A = this chain, B = another copy of it.
Amino acid sequence: MKAELKQKPQQILDFIKAYRDEHDYPPSLREIGGATGIASTSHVTYYLDQLEEKGYIARDNRISRGIQLLGAAEPFAHAAEEVVSVPYLGYIVASAPISVEPLPGDETVEISRALFGRDTSDLFALTVQGNSMIDALINDGDMVIIRQQERVENGQMAAVWLDDPGETTLKKLYYEGNQVRLQPANPTMEPFYEPAENVRVQGKVVMVIRQMG
C-alpha cells in the first residue's frame, strides 16, 4: 500500500528535482526550507526523514547536500539504462578484415536497449562501404552493428573473412561437416560453400541500420 505523498513532502521532492536539474547538485536544508516555506531546518529534516523512510531519497549523514534521488525520482539514471552506446569504429570493406581499433575521439551511436537482446556487450558499429554485400540486403552506406565473437550458431548472420579470395563478407553461416554453407540473406540468391578453415568469423551481425536522405 504505497500511500500518496502529502503536499509538503511532494513539494520538497519536486523542488529537489528542479534544483538538481538547474544546478547539477542537490540543495541544502535551508535552501529547501526557503523554497517550500519552511522556516526551520529541523522541520525540513522532519520531512526529509519521511521521504527517506518511504524510499524516495537517500541521505548521507553530515554531508552537506548529501541527498540522492531514488527510483521514482531520478530521470537520468532511467534514460541511461534504456539506451545502449555502441562505439563507432569506421568502415567495413570487402577488401580487408574488420579493424577493431577505436577511432580517435570515441564516437558512439546510441540505440534503444529494447532493440537488442539482453547481451549488449562487445558491440561495435561500422559503415558498409561498397555494394558487395547487396546479397545480404545491405547497401553501400548502411551501418552494421556487430558483436565481436569468433564463432556463431547455425543460421546466424556473421561478418567473416575468407582467406582464399581474401575478402570480408556478411552471410548466414551453416556448419555442415567440415564445410560451411554461406547463405545470402536475400532468398533469391544461391548459397555457396567454403572449407571451414577458410572461414574466419569476425563477429555476429546484430543489427543493420540504413539511413536514407
* CB-defined contacts of A43 to chain B, threshold 8 Å: none
Interface hit among A2-10, A89-97, A203-211: A203-211
Give 1 or 0 for each of A134-158: 1 = CB within 8 Å of chain B CB.
1001110001000000000000110
* Residue among B25, B115, B116, B137 making CB contact with A139, cutoff 8 Å: B137
A69's closest neighbor in chain B, by CB? B24
Size class of the contact patch on chain A: 35 or more
Give 1 or 0 for each of A179-208: 1 = CB within 8 Å of chain B CB.
000000111100000000000000011111
Task: Looking at the assembled complex, report how far the CB atom of A64 sits from the nearest CB atom of chain B, in whole angstroms.
Answer: 4
Main secondary structure of the interface of A (DSSP, over half): mixed
8 CB-based A-B contacts, threshold 8 Å: A25-B63, A79-B110, A82-B110, A115-B209, A134-B137, A156-B212, A156-B213, A204-B212
* CB-defined contacts of A114 to chain B, threshold 8 Å: 109
Task: Looking at the assembled complex, report how far the CB atom of A4 sits from the nearest CB atom of chain B, in whole angstroms.
Answer: 13
B115, A186: Cβ atoms closer than 8 Å: no
* Residue among B137, B210, B211 making CB contact with A116, cutoff 8 Å: B211
